[in-house]
Every structure is written in C-alpha cells, then in structure tokens.
A and B are shown apart, each in its own frame.
Chain A
C-alpha cells in the first residue's frame, strides 16, 4: 500500500558516532508515511533513542540526508526547528516538568504566542490547553500541577504537548504532525498501556506516530510497520498489515539468535523433594492495599504475586522488604516473627534482600562496577581486621560477576553511568548474586531493558534459585512468572483469589 504514496519523512544513510569511537548508527534508512504508527524495535544500545533524537533535532547526525515530502531538507538543529516542520519528541523519561501547572507545561517553549509586551496572557494559555485536552479526550484540570497527575495521564499530556507544539510552530496546516514516542510504556502498568494504544489508534487519523519500544507483543498489536535495529543498523523492516509475524521471529531479528531453547530450560529446574518453609505469612493486612494475605514460601522456591497494577502485589512485596508497614497479621521468617516498622537494613541482616528494577534506585552511578558490587558484600572485600578495603579482592569479585552475567564493560573499574541500561541492571543483579541472601524479593527485575539482557538476568536468577535461594516475584511482564516461578498467587483487589501453577497461568493468559 505504501509504495505509491510519497513518504512524509525519509532518512537516508544516517551515521552517528559518539566520542569518535562508539558507532551508534550506521547507514540507517527509514521512511514514515502520513497517518501510520511506525514501530522501532531493538535492544538497548541498538541506537533507537539516538535515531529519534536526530529526527527531533536534539542531536545532529554525522552524515546523512533528510527528505520531507520528497524534497531534500537539512536536519533540524533544535527541537524548535523540528516542531516547525511538524515533528516533536516525547522523551523516554524526564520529559515532564513536575512543578509547572498543566497549562504552563502544555505551552512551554511557545510562550511568545501567548504574550503581549512580555506579559503572559494566562487566560488564553488555559483556553488553548483546555481545547487540545478536550480534543484528545484527556481528562485533567489545566490548573493542577503536573506532579499531581497520575503517571499515565502525564504521558498523555506529554503527547498533547507535542501535538500542540507542532500546531503552534508549524505554519503549514496540511502537514500531518509526527509525534515520536520513546519507550512510552516503560513507566505504565498493563491496563494503562492498553489505554495509550487505544488513544494512539484513534489519533492516527490526524497524526503519525513513531513508537519506540522493546516490548515485542505490544508493537505487534497495533503498529502498521516496524523497523528492527541491531547494533546501529536497520536489520529488518516489516509491513505488519501484510505480513503475519510471530514474537519469536522478531525476537530472533532483535538479538540475532533464537530464544526458544532458553524458554524450554525451565522444566529442568523444578525440584522433586519439598523443602522446609522459610517464610510464612498469616492474615497480613494493610488498609487500602491488601487484606488477609496468607501464604508459605519454601526454601529454594520462587513464588509469584500476579495481578494488575493496583491489585496490592507491589505493596505486599514492599511490606516484606520493610519499605512499607502492615496493619495486622504476622510474618514469620526462619522461625522468627518480623516486627512491625522494621527498616529494610534489619530485614537484610536477617537475610531478606529486595531488588527493584526501577532504574537508578539500586546503583551509585558515579561509582565503579566493582565498588557497586562490594557495597552489599563489604565483609568479603575488607581485610586486615576489618579496616582496609582490599581493591584487588574487589576486582576479583567484580570480574567473576561480570563473567557470570556477561556484563559488557572495559574493566571492573568502569563507572556505572557509562553502562547501557541492560548492563546497569546486570550489575544490580550481580550484587545480590554475590550477597546470596536467603530470600530475594524481586520487583520488576527486568523492567525497561532489552531481550538479550533479560535472558542473562533470568539465567542468573534461576541459578540462584537452584542454589537454594527463595524468591518472591512481582512483575508487569506475565511471561516472567511463567519462566521463573514454581507457584503463583493470583491477586485481585488486595486479596488472594487462587493459587496457580505456571502452566495454569499460561493458559489463563492465553485465554485472555
């Protein structure tokens, strides 16, 4: 269908190198047609974000050509110039300015159109803001602060801002606006993602979307065409309207190998003999979050808490970690009752570790990999009467962990901020691998990272499980439960509905 139409935008032979060494993009060609949703998939570090930033005028390319409705144009030099051509970016993170009011945020960068002699016409700004929000069916108060809005609404307001910016900046009303969404679903729960997709499918009539994601099923669900990026190159492009593709096909293109053998390995891990109970939870309640939660966890077992966002699963795991407190009930760990209001470090002393995949929570980014690994394992690296930090020992541990988790970095002394998202996450997992807690609480352990890194992390977690470490898992990715868990508690409205096996969960998911 697409070949007869003139593409709205076309990039040819785009190259980009960082610091003269890292080749982020190599000879990339893509095009975008009016009124379509274009998916860009690839691992972290494949160059997706760099490509989007070049499109939106945030970064300049080293070389390449840009065509606009068939005519050659120069690359936009800044976001403002991009907007004047009808392109705007909704960044992956840090796009929201929390302390601005909604109407201020929506018009940010375009105040010149709403002021006379330097004075802002606030009434007019609010009216414009209300108009675009009602047009896009976004329900929120324009006088509220951005931080007061729920996360999914913030994302929608960001999209509205992109569209509004294009309208204000771009004089040619005939041009279809292009909104670039960089990993928009990462901070959203499953049901809010659906809402976002519905929103985009509706808005497709008047707006083109470029949608960057590493979550394959959601891309397959609603994109019209996709490009697959690997190591800075476009390795494949598909028209999803015409081709029928499975997740497995795209997975193979993204990582350059197959995943099926790994997914099958799960069965070999399950044990025959039941081990003793490590954690026992009785009638645990927290008003407004969860009620009468009771379960037992055995040594070396992985228990999943499955449910939608807001079902109380996150609150339960946070309670076990000591981040949240409970109102009533009892938690017995290794024969001892856990006190109320016990802080996380006390839980750690007992052998309960908590790992959250939310980026930036776990790591000290300006520290080296080795130091980040030893922060949880100081007793191993401190020698000579517990005073001196043995950096040789530290590096030894780091090298071992890096090998086990396939962390790609020049040396154990590499500072963590320079690592890609997946490698950062691996360092976080490595800390716990080395620490060997008796119970590891996992909350979204692989959120926001690519398939290849996920696989390495799953492998490490399964290895830990085999060594007798118990786990509790909370995740937004249903597949993770099937892969890692022995038993799954199905939670709804803060209560345990039923207990299912991974196979049963798989069936439930397929029926849905």
Chain B
C-alpha cells in the first residue's frame, strides 16, 4: 500500500491520465474505446515514446539531445539508398547511424564544451540538409517490413510488442545498473559525482551514445510504422512532441530525477490527449491550441506536487 502511495505521489501524471480517460469515455462513450482509436493511441504512444526514450537518459543527466529527428530523416534516406543492395537488412543502418551520431555528439559536447541543446539542434539541422540533398527533396518510400506494421489484435499493433524489450532495457539501464545511477548522479550534482570518483566525461559521452543507440533501435520499428518514408522537411511537432512527453511524464529538464518509466507514462498521456482531441473534429489550428493549453495545465498541476524537487 505504501509503495502504491509513493508511486502515485511521485507520478502525478497518473491522475491526469485517469482523469482524461474518464473524461473522454464520457464525451465519446463508443468512439473512444473503439479498436481503431485504441490502436491509434498505441501507435501515437509508440511514436512519442521511442523517440523520447534515448533523450530521457541525456535529460536525466542534465543535458539535452535533439538529434532524434535528424537521425530519423537521414536514416530514412540511407535506408532507401541501401535497400536495393541489402534488401530488408538496409534498415539496420538506423542503429548504426544512431550509435555513431550519439558517440560523435557526446565527444564533441565533452571536448569542445558546447551546450548540448544548440549542439544537438545543429546536428539535426545538418542531417536535415543532408537528407534533402541525398533524396533530391522528396520523401523516399521503402516498402517491406510488414511484420512490424501488422496488428496483433484489432486493439494492439504488433509494433507495441516489439517495442517492449526496448522500453524494458531502457528502464533497466537507468534503474538497475551502475551507468544509470551515474547519470542520475551527474544530473543531480556534477561536481559531487566527480568527487565521488566518477569519470563524468566518460559517462556523459556514454549517455549521448546510449541515447543515439536507443533512438536508432527504436527507429527500426518506427520507420515502417510511420509510413516507410522519412520526411525531408523539419517539422516542429516532430521535434517538440517527444520533449513534451518527457516533461509531462515528470523528468525535469535540469536533470537528476525522472527516468524512462516516467517518459512512457508521459508519452501515453500525451497520446491520449492528442487522440481525444482528434476525435472532436475540430479545426487543426484549434486542436493545436487546445493541446498546448492542456499540456501546460497538466505540467503545471503535476509540478506542484513534486515537493523538494527542482522543477523546470
């Protein structure tokens, strides 16, 4: 019982989620719980969470990683390039690209001491340019990977099952290993971590590398799921929505607390909000406005409950 109380106290977003589920059940009694809508919520959840899992690790360490959109775009066009030669294996370019990107940004961040926000944003912008150049400006379709895009049942997409090991390993790394503990320690108090004998530079690079790797592995599932073609235009929504999932879940951007399990909760809640508003047949502009306000409200209420925590 006490464990439950603690979980609820530390994850206020659960209340937001339950309230929203109740609200939407009342407004659209049939539509909301229909197989189409439920599986759409899961798809949206997958999109948000697989993009956000890696960056969550970097954020708990107190830095920022925005390379996920860049990896998605550039990896898409590379997959299209390699598909005629390698067949289905071409998609494995994603984890490699993610790993390389993460390692490189980590190294540059630590050696050159560039603020991670602007560094990773520049990486994404550069990849965007590279993508547009390589693809000739058109989104390039890659077919295949039906086993990922099929449905396991009318409610559950196959991709969700495939994503579970990725999510579980992210949580394990952060909660059950030395690396995770060190990332929390660095995010909470970098100097103190150093004084405890931790090689903070090494673990910073490792955090970015892990983040890139998780994004890359997640994209094996996401790329086909999101239509089998990466965009060649940088859209704000793609960049911002995973970040909202992170913050909504309860990982403050200053680092030190939170974690992947919270990001999953945040991603699910955000997916419910998005789908709930999508059902209302509102004008798209209005949906965005409402979305923004609801997220703002949820974060506001949520952060009030985090006593003693630093909130950003």
Binding site for B on A (CB under 8 A): 58, 78-80, 83, 89, 91, 94-100, 104, 108-109, 111-112, 115, 118-120, 122, 145, 147-148, 161, 165
Which of B21-29, B191-199, B280-288 forms contacts with chain A?
B191-199
Docked complex Cα distance between A89 and B192 (Å): 11
Partner of B178, one of A58, A83, A100, A112: A112
Residues in chain B near residue A100, CB distance under 8 A: 181, 184-185, 188
B176 within 8 A of A: yes
Q: Is the CB of A95 within 8 A of B192?
A: yes
Residues of A near B30 (CB, < 8 A) are none
Q: Are A94 and B196 in contact (CB under 8 A)?
A: no
B: residues with CB less than 8 A from A are 172, 176-178, 181, 184-185, 187-189, 191-193, 195-198, 256-257, 308-309
Question: What is the CA–CA distance of A98 and B198 in the complex, to the nearest angstrom?
Answer: 16
CB contacts (< 8 Å) of A89 on chain B: these are 195
Contacts of A148 in B (CB 8 A): 308
- In the complex, chain A residues whose CB is within 8 Å of the CB of B198: 108-109
In the complex, A58 Cα to B193 Cα: how many Å? 12
B178 engages A111 (CB within 8 Å):
yes
Q: 9 more A-B contacts (CB under 8 A) besides A94-B192, A122-B176?
A: A79-B195, A98-B256, A99-B184, A108-B185, A109-B198, A111-B178, A115-B177, A118-B177, A119-B176
Give every chain B residue within 8 A of A118 (Cβ-Cβ).
Answer: 177-178
Of chain B, the residue at the smallest CB distance from A90 is B195
Given contacts A96-B192, A97-B189, A119-B177, contact A109 B308 (CB under 8 A): no
B197: chain A residues within 8 A (beta carbon): 78-80, 83, 109, 165
Give the nearest-CB partner of B307 in chain A.
Answer: A148
Within the complex, what minimum Cβ distance (angstroms) separates B268 from chain A? Answer: 24
Cα of A145 to Cα of B310 in the assembled complex, Å:
13
Q: How far is the CA of A98 from the CA of B192 in the complex (A)?
A: 10
Smallest Cβ-Cβ distance to A115: which chain B residue: B178
Q: What CA separation (Å) do A47 and B259 show in the bound complex?
A: 41
Q: How far is the CA of A112 from the CA of B257 in the complex (A)?
A: 22
| Overall SS of chain A's interface | mixed
How far does the alpha carbon of A145 sit from the alpha carbon of B197 in the complex, in Å?
21
Please judge, given known A-B contacts A111-B178, A118-B177, A118-B178, whether A94 and B188 are in contact too, CB under 8 Å: no
For this complex, 13 residue pairs linking A to B, each with C-beta atoms less than 8 Å apart, are: A79-B197, A80-B197, A83-B197, A94-B189, A94-B195, A95-B195, A96-B189, A97-B192, A97-B196, A98-B189, A99-B188, A99-B257, A112-B178
A75 CB to nearest B CB, Å: 16
Distance (whole angstroms) from the CB of B197 to the closest CB of chain A: 4
Q: Identify the interface centre among B172, B197, B198: most chain A CB within 10 Å of its CB.
A: B197
Instruction: Kindly state the separation between the CA atoms of A147 and B192 in the bound complex, as whole angstroms.
Output: 14
Chain B residues closer than 8 Å to A99, beta-carbon distance:
184, 187-188, 256-257, 309
Which residues of A are found within 8 Å of B187, using beta-carbon distances? 99
Task: Return B69 CB to nearest CB of chain A, in Å.
Answer: 28
B7 to chain A, nearest CB (A): 13
Interchain CA distance A165-B181 in the complex, whole Å: 16
Q: Kindly list chain B residues whose C-beta atoms are within 8 Å of the C-beta of A79.
A: 195-197
Contact residue among B181, B189, B191, B192 (Cβ-Cβ distance under 8 Å from A111): B181
Q: Which residues of A contact B193 (CB under 8 A)?
A: 97, 108
**One of A95, A98, A108 near B181 (C-beta < 8 A):** A108
Which of A58, A120, A145 is the one whose CB lies under 8 Å from B177?
Answer: A120
With A89-B195, A91-B195 as given contacts, are A97 and B188 in contact (CB-CB < 8 Å)? Answer: yes
Tell me which of B176, B191, B192, B256 has the highest count of chain A C-beta atoms within 10 A of its own C-beta: B192
Would you list the 9 A-B pairs with minimal beta carbon distance, nearest first? A111-B178, A99-B188, A99-B256, A80-B197, A109-B197, A79-B197, A109-B196, A94-B191, A97-B189
**Can you name the residue of chain A whose Cβ is closest to the Cβ of B60?**
A99
Whether the Cβ atoms of A98 and B188 lie closer than 8 Å is yes
Chain B residues with CB under 8 Å of A111's CB are 178, 181
Closest to A119 in B: B176
With a cutoff of 8 Å between Cβ atoms, the chain A residues found around residue B196 in the complex are 79, 97, 108-109, 161, 165
Q: List residues of chain A with CB within 8 A of the CB of B176.
A: 119-120, 122
Contacts of A115 in B (CB 8 A): 177-178
Q: How far is A120 from B192 in the complex, measured between Cα atoms in Å?
A: 21
Chain A residues with Cβ below 8 Å from B185 are 97, 100, 104, 108
User: Within the complex, what minimum Cβ distance (angstroms) separates A505 from chain B?
Assistant: 37
**In the complex the two chains form, what is the Cα distance from A165 to B195 in whole Å?**
12
B186 nearest CB neighbor, chain A only: A97
Q: Which interface residue of A96, A97, A161 has the most chain B CB atoms within 10 A?
A: A97
- The residue on B at minimum CB distance from A98 is B188
What is the bound-complex CA distance between A122 and B309, given in angstroms? 23
Residues of A within 8 A of B184 (CB): 97, 99-100, 104
Q: Contacts of B188 on A, CB cut-off 8 Å?
A: 97-100
- What distance in Å separates the Cβ of B196 from its nearest Cβ neighbour in chain A? 4
Nearest CB of A to B289, in Å: 33
Shortest CB distance B267–A (Å): 22
CB closest chain-B residue, reference A107: B181
Closest to B188 in A: A99
Q: How far is the CA of A147 from the CA of B309 in the complex (A)?
A: 8
C-alpha gap A83/B177 in the complex (Å): 22
Per the bound structure, the CA–CA distance linking A182 and B58 in Å amounts to: 32
Residues of A contacting B172 in the complex (Cβ-Cβ under 8 angstroms): 119
Q: Please indicate the chain B residues that have their CB under 8 angstroms from the CB of A109 in the complex.
A: 196-198
Looking at the assembled complex, report how far the CB atom of A85 sits from the nearest CB atom of chain B, in whole angstroms: 13
Residues in A with CB closer than 8 Å to B178 are 111-112, 115, 118, 120
CA distance A473 to B40 in the complex (A): 64
CB distance from B52 to the nearest CB of A (A): 20
Min CB gap A227→B, angstroms:
23
Residues of B within 8 A of A165 (CB): 196-197
Q: In the assembled complex, which residues on chain B have CB atoms less than 8 Å from the CB atom of A147?
A: 308-309
Q: Chain A residues with Cβ under 8 A from B257's Cβ? A: 99
Asked if A120 contacts B308 (CB within 8 A), the reply is no
Minimum CB–CB distance from A180 to chain B (whole Å) comes to 11
Bound CA–CA A78/B197 (angstroms): 7
How many Å lie between the Cα of A457 and that of B261 in the bound state? 52
CB closest residue in chain A, given B189: A97
CA distance A96 to B196 in the complex (A): 10
Cβ of B177: which chain A residues have Cβ within 8 Å of it? 115, 118-120
User: Min CB distance, A283 to chain B, in Å?
Assistant: 32
The residue of chain B having its C-beta at the shortest distance from the C-beta of A58 within the complex is B195
Which of A89, A95, A100 has the most C-beta atoms of chain B within 10 angstroms of its own C-beta? A100
The residue in chain B whose Cβ has the minimal distance to the Cβ of A148 is B308
Kindly state the separation between the CA atoms of A99 and B258 in the bound complex, as whole angstroms: 10
Q: How far is the CA of A89 from the CA of B191 in the complex (A)?
A: 13
Smallest CB gap from B257: residue in A: A99
Q: How far is the CB of B41 from chain A (nearest CB, A)?
A: 31
The smallest beta-carbon distance between A464 and chain B, in angstroms, is 36
Tell me the minimal C-beta distance from B6 to chain A in angstroms.
9
